[in-house]
């Protein structure tokens, strides 16, 4: 299994913005082969350092993650979201 976690700091925080991201998340679940789990979540930690949201994703393997990076819906999400991201941290790891 391969884990892909992205922590995000947003410059935009209205409900319409987050609804659109959740809609993209649903589409990615349906359209991306090899995705085991995909969640867009709010960070509830008091130690978040301003990273208010994140994606927690697991794939059947690293190759599935690599394919996911080029799926049209994932590219659409990034084009929509990235102009409103001030910082991000990515953690990728093979889980045995």
pLDDT on residue 96: 87
Question: For each of the chain's 96 residues, which pLDDT tens digit applies?
Answer: 999 999 999 999 999 999 999 999 999 999 999 999 999 999 999 999 999 999 999 999 999 999 999 999 999 999 999 999 999 999 999 998
Q: Which two tokens stand for residue 84?
A: 């409103």
Structural contact between residues 34 and 64, judged by C-beta atoms closer than 8 angstroms: yes
* CATH code where residue 35 lies: 3.30.70.100
DSSP string over 11-61: S---HHHHHHHHHHHHHHHHH-TTEEEEEEEE---TT-TT--EEEEEEESS
Domain count, the chain: 1
Q: Cα separation of 46 and 92, whole Å?
A: 23
Task: Give the domain range for residue 28.
Answer: 2-94
Q: Which two tokens stand for residue 50?
A: 């301003």
């Amino acid at each position: 299994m391969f884990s892909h976690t992205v922590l995000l700091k947003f410059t935009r925080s209205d409900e319409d913005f987050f609804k659109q991201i959740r809609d993209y998340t649903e589409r990615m679940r349906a359209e991306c082969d090899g995705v085991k789990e995909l969640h867009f979540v709010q960070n509830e930690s008091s130690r978040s350092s301003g990273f208010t949201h994140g994606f927690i994703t697991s794939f059947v393997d690293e190759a599935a993650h690599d394919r996911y990076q080029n799926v049209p819906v994932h590219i659409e999400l990034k084009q929509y979201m990235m102009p409103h991201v001030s910082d991000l941290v990515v953690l990728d790891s093979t889980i045995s």
